[in-house]
Amino acid sequence: MEKEIETADSNLKKIAPALAASKAKLASGARMMPDQLKTLQQLAETSKSLKEQIEASTQELEKLQEMLEASTDASVEVTGTVFGGTSITISDQYMVVKDNFQYCRFTKQNGTVKMNSM
């Protein structure tokens, strides 16, 4: 999601100078060829859609981050065996299990994933 926002923002920054130059040219009263006007319209439409995409993605990302922050009581219970190399992810934190363990619980404590016996 963050990469999508960065890509859209990068594309918007690439379009902005050309769009601004074309608008300044029109504002000064200079005449533009029909194909130049068509390109200007396409740039304006692309700019508008990128801004809308950035706004929508940013709102969705904020909602997802709020949901992650709200999940403070999440845990993973192992009633069998968890094998070494298994990645345990809780909220935005993760832990890679180094050894095999049986009947344990993984919880998020103080910003890290911790293992507790059951």
User: Do the Cβ atoms of 3 and 53 come closer than 8 Å?
Assistant: no
- Boundaries of every domain in the chain: 2-70, 75-117
Cβ atoms within 10 Å of 62's Cβ, excluding its own: 10
Tokens of 52: 């809308």
Give the pTM: 0.57
Chain segment 59-103, per-residue pLDDT in tens: 999 998 887 777 667 889 999 999 999 999 987 788 999 999 999
How far is it, in rounded angstroms, from Cα 88 to Cα 108? 10
14-51 pLDDT per residue, tens: 999 988 888 888 888 888 888 988 988 999 999 999 99
